[in-house]
Amino acid sequence: MKVTADRRRCMAAGHCAISAPTVFDHGEDGLVVVLDADPGEDAREAVETAEDLCPSRAIAVETAGTERVPAR
Amino acid sequence: MTTPIPTEDKRLFAYPQDRSCPWQPSSGYRELGERGPLHRVRLWDGKSIWMVTGHAQARRLLADPRMSADRSRDDFPAVLPRLDAPIFKPIAIIGFDPPVHDIHRRMLAPDFSLKQVRALRGSVEELTGKLVDDMLRKGPPAELIEDYALPIPSMVISELLGVPYDDHAFFEAKTVGLLQAKSAQDAEAAGRALWDYLDELITAKEREPGGEGVLSRLVGRVDEDGDLTREDLLRIALALLLGGHDTTSQMIALGVVTLLEHPHQLAALRADPGVLPAAVDELLRMVSVTDVSGVRVATEDIEIDGYVIRAGEGVLVSSSMTNRDPEVFPDPYRFDVHRAGGRNAASGRHHLTFGFGIHQCLGQNLARMELEVAFAVLFDRIPDLRLAVPLDGLPTRSGGTMQGVHTLPVEW
């Protein structure tokens, strides 16, 4: 699955780095950094939790050509 | 301008209503929640707004850029009389829309990031241990607010901001004066005292640059023609000082009460310290220490699940009720530290106690860490802690949206 994070939307809530610490981290500015943009399926539940909890809708998950863009 | 209250509005549900149990909303809220996700409710000034009790609707509305958080707007509802005070219009960060909100929030992001919070944990454990040492030396009994629940967040936010903790009695009293005021005049007086205090403090930091803490760092970024004016900095200082200690202290206190009144849950927590993060989020959900996940005003007509919120109408998201939406939280009135099921460290985080959308609490990770440390240290060091007064004898806050007790007498 393809994972992207929009740093222009990120508000540094930190849910992603807690939900999926192998996929997301934070930079010195506190904002999201994607560590693994193409994680394996075993990370799916954690990545989807991160996407769901992100309050500023900064995370998007794309699976086999179908992109899920969070509602704005 | 005064508008007569239409007769029908007098029959609307009056918001807010006091709890009779420290960790459960009033029965009136419960009945309202069972009727649907959105409701018209009447405020103290006779105006009516939407109250949202549905979790999915709350998340959508709080993440919707057509909902404004700008408290300086004429149509922004004053949920309580104190919120009519000029000091709250506008309050930094929470009372601003993008782009100003985002600019100020990002200036603060490094200071409240997960990494920064994790780095602070050791020092919070140390100060918490010292507070318990003092309680054990002096007591039993102890007064848990003054001896424990308040000094933890108060010391932490002082250190983080660079506000002298020696002044804690002053800023704590004025914060309570501001947040618990029954009138706009009383709120304004307490708020102005804090404003003047912070103004002097920032003047001192301007004279001696290079000090420790967020405020010293931001003093160096003040630019009257840029993104941070001196007045912006003062408003940010006020918001962080207020937001940084009162709700966390009451969450510690009410969390302790909730755990003591659920001895099997407390025993489960003590038996498995790995449950602690999930237990903290379950307490945050249950207690919903501030009933307001967010207040907004619609800037356009917004349709949501068959309801139409008209432009200019106010919306209040109730955390205590959205946190009890049975669609998301089965058996929602039950306190269960294993609710998150241990599947994922974050799976207990769906509650809306910290809000949702771009305004979700800036200090949430700091608050979670302080709560984890506070509960772990207290119940580890004083395992036979108990209330020193009956539960229904606790002096509780009333007439507002922020839950709390004035004092919390305990013994062991």
What's the pLDDT at B91?
A: 85
Instruction: Report the residue of chain B nearest A8, measured CA to CA.
Output: B102
Provide the 3-class DSSP secondary structure of residue B202.
helix
CB contact under 8 A, B345 and A26: no
Q: Is A31 on the interface with B (CB under 8 A)?
A: yes
- Count other C-beta atoms under 10 Å from residue B116's C-beta: 16
Is residue A64 predicted with pLDDT exceeding 70? no
Residues of chain A with Cβ-Cβ distance to B350 below 8 Å are: 52-53
- State how many domains chain B has: 1
What's the pLDDT at B63?
A: 96
Determine how β-strand B48-52 pairs with β-strand B38-42.
antiparallel
Nearest to B17 by CA among B403, B295, B405, B329: B403
Q: Is A18 on the interface with B (CB under 8 A)?
A: yes
Answer positive or negative: Cα dihedral of B19, B23, B29, B34. Answer: negative
Is residue A49 predicted with pLDDT exceeding 60? yes
CB contact under 8 A, B343 and A45: yes
Residues of chain B with Cβ-Cβ distance to A53 below 8 Å are: 346, 349-350
Residues of chain A with Cβ-Cβ distance to B64 below 8 Å are: 72
What's the pLDDT at B7?
A: 46
Residue B163 near residue B172, CB atoms below 8 Å? no
- The CA-based angle B64-B66-B72, given to 5 degrees, is 115
Considering only the beta carbons, identify the residue of A19, A56, A71 that sits closest to B344.
A19
DSSP character at residue A24: E
CB contact under 8 A, A26 and B112: no
What's the pLDDT at A62?
A: 87
A–B CB contacts, 8 A cutoff, strictly below = 74
The answer as to whether B355 is a domain residue is yes
Provide CB contacts within 8 A for B346, sequence distance 6+.
Answer: A15, A18, A19, A46, A49, A50, A53
Nearest to A59 by CA among A1, A18, A7, A21: A7
The answer as to whether B10 is a domain residue is no
- Boundaries of domain holding B379: 18-398
The answer as to whether B129 is a domain residue is yes
Considering only the beta carbons, identify the residue of B105, B114, B347 that sits closest to A14.
B114
CB contact under 8 A, A30 and B109: yes
pLDDT-derived band of residue A69, with 50, 70 and 90 as boundaries?
Answer: low
CB contact under 8 A, B113 and A15: no
- The CA-based angle B372-B374-B380, given to 5 degrees, is 95
The answer as to whether B267 is a domain residue is yes
Considering only the beta carbons, identify the residue of B65, B109, B111 that sits closest to A31.
B109
Q: Is A37 on the interface with B (CB under 8 A)?
A: no
Rounded-to-integer distance, Cα B321 and Cα B15, Å: 13
Residue type, B353: T
CB contact under 8 A, B110 and A29: yes
Q: Looking at CA atoms only, how far is residue A66 from chain B in angstroms?
A: 22
The tens digit of pLDDT for each residue in A7-35 reads 999 999 999 999 999 999 999 999 999 99
Each residue's pLDDT tens digit in chain B (412 positions)?
444 444 456 689 999 999 999 999 999 999 999 999 999 999 999 999 999 999 999 999 999 999 999 999 999 999 999 999 998 888 888 899 999 999 999 999 999 999 999 999 999 999 999 999 999 999 899 999 999 999 999 999 999 999 999 999 999 999 999 999 999 999 999 999 999 999 999 999 999 988 889 999 999 999 999 999 999 999 999 999 999 899 999 999 999 999 999 999 999 999 998 999 999 999 999 999 999 999 999 999 999 999 999 999 999 999 999 999 999 999 999 999 998 865 555 668 999 999 999 999 999 999 999 999 999 999 999 999 999 999 999 999 998 999 999 999 999 9
Helix axes B230-260, B263-271, angle to 10 degrees: 100
What's the pLDDT at A65?
A: 56
Q: Which residues of B touch A (CB under 8 A)?
A: 60, 62-65, 102, 105-106, 109-116, 343-347, 349-350, 355-358, 360, 364-365
Answer positive or negative: Cα dihedral of B104, B79, B154, B229. Answer: positive
Structure-block tokens of residue B42: 């009447």
What is the CATH number for B283? 1.10.630.10
CB contact under 8 A, B60 and A53: no
Interface probe, candidates A11, A35, A45, chain B, greatest B C-beta count within 10 A? A11
The ipTM is 0.90
The answer as to whether B409 is a domain residue is no
Provide CB contacts within 8 A for B213, sequence distance 6+.
Answer: B159, B160, B161, B162, B163
Instruction: Report the residue of chain A nearest B361, measured CA to CA.
Output: A13
Residue B78 near residue B59, CB atoms below 8 Å? no
- State how many domains chain A has: 1
Residues of chain B with Cβ-Cβ distance to A14 below 8 Å are: 113-114, 364-365
Structure-block tokens of residue B174: 């004025």
Structure-block tokens of residue B83: 């919120």
Report CA-CA distances (Å) from B158 to B91, B163, B180, B314.
19, 5, 21, 34
Q: Which residue has the tokens 């302790």?
A: B256
- Boundaries of domain holding A57: 2-68
Q: Is A41 on the interface with B (CB under 8 A)?
A: no
Rounded-to-integer distance, Cα B38 and Cα B322, Å: 11
